Amino acid sequence: MERVYDLEDRFVDYTCRMIDVVEALPKTRSGNYMAGQLIRSCHSPAFNYSESQAAESADDFIHKLKVVLKELKECRTSLKIIIKKNYIRPSAKLDPLFKETEELIAIIGKCISTAQKNKSNRGK
């Protein structure tokens, strides 16, 4: 049976998995810096997606989703650096999380384009 995801639950799971990455980073100057950046960017998609569900307008909805997309892309870049620097070994442990990041980016990108299309169709 195929598992059906509520996207908000998927973002919560994603954030929890990213917190595990943050906690596994080395306690060095660069590791601490990366942890600080990542802890902020990995929480934002879940919070902003949740806010988007109560958006006050189509523009507000699209704006919040764009913030989600921006923060997911920051998480992706952080993961690339963590993998390249071998901060977590073996780095292949991060492959499923990197894949999830890419999938969430694709989903939110499609949500944004659909919302923009629907908004412009309402104006016709």
- CATH label of the domain that carries residue 88: 1.20.1440.60
Q: Which helix (H) or strand (E) holds 32?
A: helix 29-52
Q: Within 10 Å of residue 108's Cβ, how many Cβ atoms?
A: 25
CA 68 to each of CA 45, 77, 119: distance values in angstroms, whole numbers, following the listed order:
4, 14, 19
For residue 27, the Cα-to-chain-centroid distance in whole angstroms is 24
State the pLDDT at residue 122: 81
State the pLDDT at residue 3: 54
φ, ψ (nearest 5 deg) of residue 102: -60, -40
Enter the DSSP assignment of 94.
G
pTM attached to this predicted model: 0.91
Three-state DSSP class for 100?
helix
State the pLDDT at residue 31: 96
Q: 90 in a domain, yes or no?
A: yes
State the pLDDT at residue 2: 56
**Total count of domains within the chain:** 1
Q: 104 in a domain, yes or no?
A: yes
Q: 113 in a domain, yes or no?
A: yes
Q: 3 in a domain, yes or no?
A: no
* Domain range for 19: 8-119
pLDDT in 10s for each residue of the chain, 124 residues:
555 559 999 999 999 999 999 999 999 999 999 999 999 999 999 999 999 999 999 999 999 999 999 999 999 999 999 999 999 999 999 999 999 999 999 999 999 999 999 988 886 6
Q: 69 in a domain, yes or no?
A: yes
Q: Where are the beta strands (DSSP E) in 35-122?
A: none
